Chains A and B, each alone.
Chain A
Amino acid sequence: LAKTTQPISMDSYEGQEVNITCSHNNIATNDYITWYQQFPSQGPRFIIQGYKTKVTNEVASLFIPADRKSSTLSLPRVSLSDTAVYYCLVGDRQAAGNKLTFGGGTRVLVKP
Chain B
Amino acid sequence: NAGVTQTPKFQVLKTGQSMTLQCAQDMNHNSMYWYRQDPGMGLRLIYYSASEGTTDKGEVPNGYNVSRLNKREFSLRLESAAPSQTSVYFCASSEDPSNTGELFFGEGSRLTVL
Q: What residues of chain A have their CB less than 8 Å away from a CB belonging to chain B?
A: 32, 34, 36, 41-46, 49, 85, 87, 91, 93-105
Contact = CB atoms under 8 A, between A and B. Distances in A.
Given A100-B45, A101-B59, A104-B41, A43 B50 contact: no
Nearest to A36: B103
A47 to B, nearest CB: 10
A43 B106 contact: yes
A101 B105 contact: no
B51 A99 contact: no
Interface string B58-90: 110000000000000000000000000000001
Nearest to B40: A107
Interface in B9-52: 31, 33, 35, 41-45, 48-51
Contacts of B100: 32, 34, 46, 49, 93
A102 B43 CA distance: 5
B97 A101 contact: no
B42 A100 contact: no
Given A34-B101, A43-B92, A99 B44 contact: no
Nearest to B31: A97
Contacts of B96: 93-98
Interface centre among A43, A44, A91, A101, by most B CB within 10 Å? A43
A108 to B, nearest CB: 14
Nearest to B94: A98
Contact of B101 (A43, A44, A85, A91): A91
A94 B45 contact: no
Contact of B102 (A42, A46, A94): A46
B105 A102 contact: no
